[in-house]
């Protein structure tokens, strides 16, 4: 599985201090605006957002389909002395794993929903989001702005790099645009030890580019209201032609 094999490198791939400094103020502001106390980080990866929310005073839990990512999340939690409930559970399995109406809010960040490769799978995932949330509960998703990616055929993303002790990493990401309208997401990882020889690995997975209009309609169909679009997790205005991300906030209908 793509993310099981990527889990050992993932925390080097992401600049967590910079990312969390930018994103956590917006996320916590959204939570406090509705008086949320409990939050589920769906597709939590290595759990860094989950940990940051716990440290900010929220009752946070995390779930991910990848057992490798959940193992790393538990290691990260133990390293900072936190006891976070992390579970191996994918989209459509969250309400069964945690129970219906268990959370005031749910996050799904890091371009996770596009891994659902059909409208039916997306609908099932959003219905599960609604079921695991309390009435009036908040959902926040963050995807690439695929309106711009598809319109402009944006194949390449900025390379990432990291260094820790004697190990250095370089990451290059790019899309292959497939005839059926889906994307193949490729990550090339270069790694070397102590200025030695570079080794290379390539990982690939399929994505379905989710456009803003489809997502808004899908949220409405799953029983959400107050649907708002932003261009990033700093809360900028969404521009379909220029924003790097599509962030959507919505609330489950109150009974």
Residue identified by tokens 């769906």 is 42
> Per-residue pLDDT for the chain (255 aa), expressed as one digit of tens each?
676 666 577 777 778 788 899 999 999 999 999 999 999 999 999 999 999 999 999 999 999 999 999 999 999 999 999 999 999 999 999 999 999 999 999 999 999 999 999 999 999 999 999 999 999 999 999 999 999 999 999 999 999 888 888 999 899 999 999 999 999 999 999 999 988 999 999 999 999 999 999 999 999 999 999 999 999 999 999 999 999 999 999 999 987
Give the Cα-Cα-Cα angle 248, 239, 3 (nearest 5 degrees): 50
- The answer, as to whether pTM is greater than 0.75, is yes
Task: Give the neighbor-by-neighbor strand order of the sheet with 167-177.
Answer: 160-164, 167-177, 183-193, 199-207
d(Cα 201, Cα 151) in Å, to the nearest integer? Answer: 30
What is the topology classification, in CATH, of domain 149-207? N-terminal domain of TfIIb (2.20.25)
pLDDT of residue 9: 73
pLDDT, one tens digit per residue, over 125-160 is 999 999 999 999 999 999 999 999 999 999 999 998
The three-class DSSP label of residue 245 is: strand
Task: Please determine whether the domains at 2-147+210-252 and 149-207 fall in the same fold group of CATH.
Answer: no
Nearest to 221 by CA among 253, 245, 249, 247: 253
The domain ranges of the chain are 2-147+210-252, 149-207
CB 79, CB 111: distance < 8 Å:
no
Enumerate residues 6+ apart whose C-beta is below 8 A from 200: 188, 189, 190, 191
Residue range 2-147+210-252, CATH number:
3.40.50.150
């Amino acid at each position: 599985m793509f993310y099981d094999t990527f889990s050992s490198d993932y925390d080097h791939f992401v600049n967590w201090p910079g990312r969390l400094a930018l994103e956590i103020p917006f996320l916590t502001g959204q939570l406090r605006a509705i008086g949320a106390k409990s939050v589920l980080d769906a597709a939590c990866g290595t759990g860094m957002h989950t940990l940051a929310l716990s440290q900010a005073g929220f009752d946070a839990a995390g779930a991910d389909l990848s057992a490798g990512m959940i193992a790393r999340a538990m290691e990260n939690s133990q390293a900072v002395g936190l006891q976070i409930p992390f579970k191996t559970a994918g989209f459509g399995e969250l309400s069964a794993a945690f129970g219906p109406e268990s959370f005031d809010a749910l996050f799904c960040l890091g371009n996770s929903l596009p891994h659902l490769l059909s409208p039916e799978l997306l609908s099932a995932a959003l219905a599960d989001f609604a079921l695991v949330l309390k009435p009036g509960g908040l959902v926040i998703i963050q995807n690439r702005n695929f309106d711009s990616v598809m319109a402009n055929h944006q194949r390449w993303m900025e390379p990432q790099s990291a260094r820790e002790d004697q190990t250095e990493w370089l990451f290059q990401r790019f899309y292959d645009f497939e005839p059926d309208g889906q994307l193949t997401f490729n990550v090339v990882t270069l790694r070397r030890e102590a200025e030695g020889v570079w080794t290379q690995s390539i990982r690939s997975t399929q994505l379905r580019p989710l456009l803003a209009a489809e997502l808004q309609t899908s949220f409405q169909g799953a029983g959400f209201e107050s649907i708002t679009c932003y261009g990033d997790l700093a809360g900028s205005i969404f521009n379909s032609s220029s924003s790097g991300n599509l962030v959507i906030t919505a609330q489950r209908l109150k009974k």
